[in-house]
């Protein structure tokens, strides 16, 4: 990695990328997760990686001083610390720190110790959203975007089944906790404007789906059709004389 002033020139080669992706796939492709099934964590990781690439190449970020390679290495290995846990429940506190340890220990031979340490540094304070620097904002935005939208609807209900919740329980939990939480978090977590815009669109997809699911669950969609058409009692026909 070559530093020019405060800027960092990208140096990851295709071979290094291939080797890192192969390592991530080997460790995650057969891993089962209650909120996604077998292999979910690998495909999530690749979405985060590709989203980070897209954000780095966006007009909003391109041309600014950013350690591109550290972001990409951290994106590829941000969840690798989950392999240290035997549980399939996605709640694994401290896995970010374990990811940092893994990066420092295992990636020096692929990308060099300096880059491995810089990527690990991003994971060391991953949950501290109060820290302001561009690399952290890109990594967090790429990761948390995957918690919004149609794909996460599916994941949410798979996890609800794992926890033995019925549809009503899951809808209530979303409306009382998740929806309010994410509406409050949008501005604080997504400091990259284009990521926030996409998160807002995906959040609307989720909210609209939950509203419609609630209507169908309560039978209100059927009642709206009835009330709009044949809701009035039929008039009694009186036979007249011919």
Q: Name residues whose C-beta falls within 8 Å of residue 207's C-beta, 6 or more positions apart in sequence.
A: 179
pLDDT, position 153: 86
List the Cα angle 207/208/211 in 5-degree steps.
Answer: 85
Dihedral of CA 27/33/39/41: which sign?
negative
- How far is Cα 207 from Cα 216, in angstroms, rounded to an integer? 14
Dihedral of CA 57/61/63/67: which sign?
negative
pLDDT, position 10: 61
pLDDT, position 228: 62
Residues of the chain scoring pLDDT < 50 = 1-7, 231-242
- How far is Cα 67 from Cα 52, in angstroms, rounded to an integer? 12
Give this prediction's pTM: 0.84
């Amino acid at each position: 990695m070559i530093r020019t002033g405060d800027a960092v020139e990208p140096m990851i080669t295709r071979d290094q990328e291939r080797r890192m992706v192969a390592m991530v796939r080997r460790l995650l492709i057969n891993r089962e997760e209650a909120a996604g099934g077998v292999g979910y964590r690998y495909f999530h990781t690749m979405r985060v990686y590709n989203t980070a690439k897209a954000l780095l190449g966006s007009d909003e970020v391109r041309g600014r001083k950013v350690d591109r390679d550290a972001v990409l290495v951290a994106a590829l290995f941000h969840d690798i610390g989950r392999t240290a846990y035997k549980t399939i429940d996605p709640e694994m506190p401290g896995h970010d720190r374990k990811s940092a340890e893994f990066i420092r220990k295992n990636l020096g031979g692929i990308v060099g110790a300096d880059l491995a340490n810089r990527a690990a540094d991003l994971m060391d304070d991953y949950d501290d959203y109060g820290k302001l620097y561009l690399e952290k904002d890109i990594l967090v935005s790429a990761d948390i975007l995957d918690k919004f939208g149609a794909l996460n609807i599916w994941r949410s209900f798979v996890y609800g089944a794992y926890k033995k919740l019925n549809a009503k329980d899951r809808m209530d939990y979303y409306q009382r906790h998740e929806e309010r939480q994410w509406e409050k978090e949008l501005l604080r977590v997504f400091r990259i404007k284009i990521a926030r815009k996409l998160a807002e669109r995906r959040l609307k997809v989720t909210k609209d789906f939950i509203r419609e699911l609630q209507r169908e669950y309560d039978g209100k969609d059927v009642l709206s059709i009835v009330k709009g058409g044949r809701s009035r009692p039929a008039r009694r026909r009186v036979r007249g004389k011919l």
